[in-house]
A = this chain, B = another copy of it.
């Protein structure tokens, strides 16, 4: 969901917010980085360009961007949150328990699951979060594959 600078300003304006240099910087770092950043990493990378930016601003900005739908928050490693800039198509994550690598993928059958659940339970679904975990190809090699499945 990368936007031109003017459009971006409007987007902020529309909700009574201001487009500050810090917010622009943080959005930039998020969009440049293909991977999923945690707040600390985002802070470090932003600080490299603006040494005065504070961690509190990172958290506050992430909250704002999330509220505006420009950024998504994930609990990938169970521990702390990771954030990524929205790029339109919904997608899900596979996390390698060996090396921490994250693979994104789409899963068309999810539509079906959502429909089933929302019909059967009478709920309305606004968000779907799917996280698979296991071992990536490299890690399986490294470990001799003994970690794959319980059997």
Contact = CB atoms under 8 A, between A and B. Distances in A.
A134 B121 CA distance: 12
Interface of A: 73, 75, 78, 81, 94, 96-97, 103, 105, 107, 109-110, 112-114, 116-118, 120-137, 140, 145, 147-150
A94 to B, nearest CB: 6
- Copies of this chain in its oligomeric complex: 2
A78 B134 CA distance: 21
A117 B134 CA distance: 11
A125 B94 contact: yes
Contact of A118 (B107, B109, B130, B134): B134
Contacts of A130: 113, 128-131
Given A130-B129, A130-B130, A131-B129, A123 B107 contact: no
Contacts of A120: 105
A45 to B, nearest CB: 23
Contact of A121 (B103, B127, B148): B103
Contacts of A131: 128-130
B97 A107 contact: no
A117 B92 CA distance: 11
A146 to B, nearest CB: 11
A98 to B, nearest CB: 10
